[in-house]
């Protein structure tokens, strides 16, 4: 029977730093050992009360005098300053799409200390960035979608609210969504510099969609150069129609994709810093 991960079980697993580190190693999330890059000997691990610990070489090297590296180096938890258990709980809350207030409450695991608003906002931003990077790597491996005879529906959406906050992915990031109506293959692209002008949109489309595809979009001016790029382009003005009376172009599949349906993107919070 597979392990059930919920807040109750996490409470048992994350009861102290050694238990947390042991569980993370069982899951392959942090390394069990490391060799010194200078002399090749296995490093000695130094445990700490609040962090993941560190690997240290007992021999002298010039430079440096001694080699030292965090156990979390090169992992999801690299450069994390909070207790390991808190980082795990924050990640769990994000994966379960908990609201902002729920995340603050559940991740406040240090007695007498409440998780800050900035910490939750920044961690969720980090999680979103990693998800998008993972999708980008998968898309590159799978290649472009579409081709002759394929219909691709394209639209942009904004992740988050139009409010300033700090974090790795800014609030209100524009995402370009592309979906093959027949195969349901999806491609998402983060608009560079948070722009959706013609140069940005056309570059993302060229990277993700094969030439000779039939592309349906709205009437945003950023799509006006698609025909010159080798695509058959149709557009619909949503202010008046969902089906273009002249060309028969329409949008349907795109509304089943979370990127195009704002209701499927959880706001999580009405707080400015999220």
Neighbouring CB atoms inside 10 A of 139's CB total: 19
Q: pLDDT confidence of 88, banded at 50, 70, 90?
A: very high
**Alpha carbon separation from 114 to 105, 107, 264 (Å, rounded):** 8, 8, 29
Q: What is the pTM of this model?
A: 0.69
Q: Which of 118-127, 162-171, 248-257 has the lowest mean pLDDT?
A: 162-171
266, pLDDT greater than 50: no
Domains recognised in the chain with CATH numbers: 7-96 (no CATH), 131-264 (3.30.420)
User: 20-66, pLDDT tens digit by residue?
Assistant: 999 999 999 999 999 988 888 899 998 877 789 999 988 877 666 67
Q: What pLDDT sits at residue 223?
A: 95
253, pLDDT greater than 70: no
Q: Which of 95-99, 223-227, 247-251 has the lowest mean pLDDT?
A: 247-251
Query: 99 near 66, Cβ under 8 Å?
Result: no
Dihedrals φ, ψ of 41, to 5°? -75, 155
What does the radius of gyration of the chain's CA atoms come to, in whole angstroms?
24
169, pLDDT greater than 80: no
DSSP 156-168: EEEES-S----SS
Please list the residues that pair with 233 across neighbouring strands: 215
Q: pLDDT confidence of 102, banded at 50, 70, 90?
A: very high
263, pLDDT greater than 90: no
Crossing angle between the packed helical segments 84-95 and 117-142, to the nearest 10 degrees = 60
Half-sphere exposure of 190 (CA within 13 A, CB side): 20
Half-sphere exposure of 131 (CA within 13 A, CB side): 13
Please list the residues that pair with 153 across neighbouring strands: 179, 216
Distance CA 109, CA 157 (A): 35
Q: What pLDDT sits at residue 117?
A: 86
Phi-psi region for residue 74, left (φ > 0), alpha (ψ -120 to 50) or beta?
Answer: left
Kindly state the percentage of the chain with pLDDT values over 90: 51
């Amino acid at each position: 029977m597979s392990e059930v991960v919920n807040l109750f079980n996490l409470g048992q697993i994350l009861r102290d730093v050694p238990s947390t580190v042991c569980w993370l190693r069982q899951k392959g999330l942090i390394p069990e050992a490391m060799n010194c890059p200078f002399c090749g000997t296995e490093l000695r691990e130094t445990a700490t009360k609040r962090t993941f610990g560190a690997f240290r070489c007992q021999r002298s090297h010039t430079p440096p005098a001694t080699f030292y590296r965090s156990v979390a180096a090169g992992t999801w938890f690299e450069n994390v300053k909070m207790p390991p258990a808190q980082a795990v709980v924050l990640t769990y809350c994000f994966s379960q799409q908990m609201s902002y207030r729920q995340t603050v409450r559940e991740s406040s695991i240090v007695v007498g200390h409440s998780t800050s608003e900035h910490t939750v906002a920044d961690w969720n931003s980090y999680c979103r960035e990693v998800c998008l990077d993972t999708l980008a790597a998968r898309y590159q491996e799978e290649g472009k979608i579409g081709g002759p005879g394929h219909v691709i529906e394209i639209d942009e959406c904004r992740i988050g609210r139009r409010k300033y906050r700090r974090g790795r992915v800014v609030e209100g990031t524009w995402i370009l969504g592309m979906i093959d109506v027949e195969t349901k293959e999806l491609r998402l692209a983060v608009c560079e510099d948070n722009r959706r002008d013609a140069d940005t949109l056309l570059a993302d489309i060229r990277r993700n969609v094969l030439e000779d595809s039939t592309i349906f979009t709205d009437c945003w001016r950023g799509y006006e150069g698609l025909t010159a790029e080798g695509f058959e382009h149709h557009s619909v003005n949503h202010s008046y129609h969902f089906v273009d009376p002249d060309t028969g172009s329409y949008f349907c599949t795109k509304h089943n994709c979370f990127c195009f349906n704002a209701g499927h993107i959880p706001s999580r919070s009405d707080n400015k810093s999220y």
